[in-house]
Amino acid sequence: MPVIIAAIATLGVAFLVYCICWSLFSNPLARIPVPKSFALTKWRLAYEDYKGTRTRKIHALHGQYGPVVRVGPNEVAFNSLSAMRAIYGAGSGFERTSFYHMFSTYGRMNMFSFNTVEQHAERKKLFANAYAKSTILRGENAHMIETKVGKYMQLLEREGRAHDIFPTLHYFSLDNITEFIYGDFGKTACLDGVEKDRALLRDIINTGSRKLTWFTVHSPKFIVWLYSRTGIMGCIARQFYPMQKPIPYTSIKLHAMKACQGFSHASAGEKAQQSSLISKLWKHHRSEKDGGLDDLDIASECADQLDGGIDTTSDTLMFAIWSLSRPEHRRFQQKLIDEVRTLSEDELNAGGIPRAEAADKLPYVDAVIKETLRLFAPLPASEPRSLSKATTVDGYLIPARTVVSISPYTLHRNPKVFKDPLKFNPDRWLDPSQDLAQMKKFFWAFSSGGRMCIGMHIAMAEMSTLLAALYRNYTTEPREGFDVVSPGITSRFEVFYDEGCSGMREHECQIEFKSQ
């Protein structure tokens, strides 16, 4: 028996040595620079995920090792335009990894979570026109955005000009996206003070979601098993939940499902009166056996796009207003004020709100938004992809099924492209002495290629119209120490904020609006 145990132990050690040698010396990825701990196990990067430092750590590794860094036994991070084109460009063949399956809703895959380019393109063509810039900036959609901006202005006067803008900007984005997607069947009225609608946001801003997201990414089967326990096992399982219920977006998903059911049960005449996204998807509604979209397909698609249209817009607006409000940035705020004051009466609606189409043409407003997205991209972390066959990227052989990625966080902080990259400076986007063409190539807040953010134009319209309206009427200043403290946002399992500040308050941003 001792001889057998010794033999097994020897084989185990030999196998371990073989794995280490393979990973460090024989694996095709061994040529790529990497700290040994990252090359040996995926749990080294998972540990950075757990600490909420993944994106900053990869950024630091790029600073140390260059534009190509191995961050796992089977994972490589890139930071170059050539890699961006090779991985995310049209016709590249790279597909989304299983990481995106966590964004499936009601048990159904949707445009965002589909792996293959073909699946994504097939679904996208059903409603891409609804997100076209011309569709957003004119007609009913423009009127909707301008109306919500007017309601936000009324909220400031009704509920106080000195307040935490983190929740109120979420009210603004939620009211816009619910009406855009569901029309009369699911639009919210947070800006009007409807408490049941405002309550939908409570489980979104729960900071415990970061821990749950970590387990969902790294141990998805365990999480499904844990949260599905009932009875006595359920009582025991609750003691080990990464996050107590309700888990993120529970209320939002319930609201979304009720909206879809309401639309489904409406008469043909009621459906025909709607110009919402769900009405466009419903034109492709057929039974599953006929190859069309069934009720759950449509519900999943709508819920996913609802999810994507809340935090992204509101968080960017928050950082834009906060950045402009800081004492050292007053000159930028004044330039914005000077520009929006040039709007003529014809460029305002009957309520005195800038028209969405007019706000879209304001260059300094656009520069402020671009600079905010550069420093505070709402989704700054890696966008993983893989290819079914071996290929070469930036001179390195990438074996089949290797996970590769680029992050906006690192692209946007390239000092060779963006002078003083950590400084908020909207002027850089209008400075002819800068290499503007190169800056635009490195600007990746909305991703690129066929899977570029479909909601880009509605997000930009909401942001430009609200900023133009606010700074036509008010100046802004930080409150309660927010001139030195940064607001923070939750993104997956990380918190992002301005690292140059002395502190951070997650999901809070105190701003005072003063009449001009």
**Binding site per annotation, positions:** 453
Q: At which residue do the structure tokens 């008010």 appear?
A: 474
Token output for 211: 């821990």
Q: Are 497 and 489 in contact (CB under 8 A)?
A: yes
Q: Which residue reads 């509605």 in tokens? A: 458
In sequence order, the β-bridge partners of residue 210 are: none
**What are the strands of the beta sheet with 95-96, ordered from one edge?**
68-72, 75-78, 403-405, 385-386, 95-96
3-state helix, strand, coil in the chain (%, to 5): 55, 10, 30
Residue 403 belongs to what H/E stretch? strand 403-405
Which residues are part of a known binding site for heme?
A: 453
Helices (H) and strands (E) in the chain, counts: 24, 13
CA–CA distances in Å: residue 482 to residues 100, 369, 474, 489: 35, 20, 18, 15
Strand, coil or helix: 361: coil
H or E segment to which residue 147 belongs: helix 139-159
CA angle 150, 154, 155 (to 5 degrees): 115
| 270 vs 265: CA distance, rounded Å | 10
Classified as helix, coil or strand, 504 is: strand
- DSSP reduced 3-state for 73: coil
Place of tokens 């749990």: 43
DSSP reduced 3-state for 146: helix
Helix (H, G, I), strand (E, B) or coil at 194: coil
